[in-house]
Amino acid sequence: MTTFTAVVTTGIYCRPGCPARPLAENVRTFELAATAEAAGFRACLRCRPYRVAGPVGPEAPELVCRAVQLILDGVLDGGTEVTLGARLGVSPRHLRRLFNDHLGVTPDQLARSRRAHFARRLLDDSDLAVADVAFASGFGSLRQFNREMRQVFRAVPSELRLRRRRADRLAADGGLAMRLPFRRPFDWDGVLEHLAARAVPGVESVEGRVYRRTISLDGEAGLLEVHPGEQDNLVLVAHLPYWEGLIHVVERASRMVAVDVETGPAVEDLAADPVVGPLVSARPGLRAPGAWGAFEVAVHAVLAQHGDLPWTRDRMGALVRRLGLPVPGLTHGLTHLFPSAEVLAGEKLTGIGLPTAAADTLRRLARRVADGDIVLDGGASSADLVTGLTAVEGIGRAAAEQIALRLGHRDAFPADAPAVHRALRELGAGDPEEAAERWRPWRAVVAAHLVAHGEAADR
Identify the CA nearest to 376 among candidates 447, 296, 311.
296
Would the pLDDT of 393 be above 90? yes
> What tens digit of pLDDT does each residue of 296-336 get?
999 999 999 999 999 999 999 999 999 999 999 999 999 99
pLDDT interval class at 373 (50, 70, 90):
very high
> What tens digit of pLDDT does each residue of 120-141 get?
999 998 999 999 999 999 998 9
What is the third-level CATH fold of 62-162? Arc Repressor Mutant, subunit A (1.10.10)
Would the pLDDT of 215 be above 80? yes
pLDDT of the residue at 377: 76
> What tens digit of pLDDT does each residue of 161-170 get?
998 887 787 7
φ, ψ for residue 211 (rounded to 5)? -105, 135
CATH class of 170-244: alpha beta
The 10 Å Cβ neighbour count of residue 373 is: 11
Q: So where are the chain's domains? A: 4-51, 62-162, 170-244, 245-458
Q: CA-based angle 247:144:241, to the nearest 5? A: 35
64 CA to centre of own chain: 16
> What tens digit of pLDDT does each residue of 106-122 get?
999 999 999 999 999 99
Half-sphere exposure of 37 (CA within 13 A, CB side): 26
What mean pLDDT is reported for the chain? 90
pLDDT of the residue at 172: 65
Which 3 state secondary structure label does DSSP give 210? strand
Q: What is the pTM of this model?
A: 0.89
What is the third-level CATH fold of 245-458? Endonuclease III; domain 1 (1.10.340)
CATH class of 4-51: alpha beta
Would the pLDDT of 341 be above 70? yes
> What tens digit of pLDDT does each residue of 87-105 get?
888 999 999 999 999 888 9
pLDDT of the residue at 458: 67
pLDDT of the residue at 336: 97
Which residues in 337-383 belong to E strands, given as ranges?
A: none
pLDDT interval class at 173 (50, 70, 90):
low
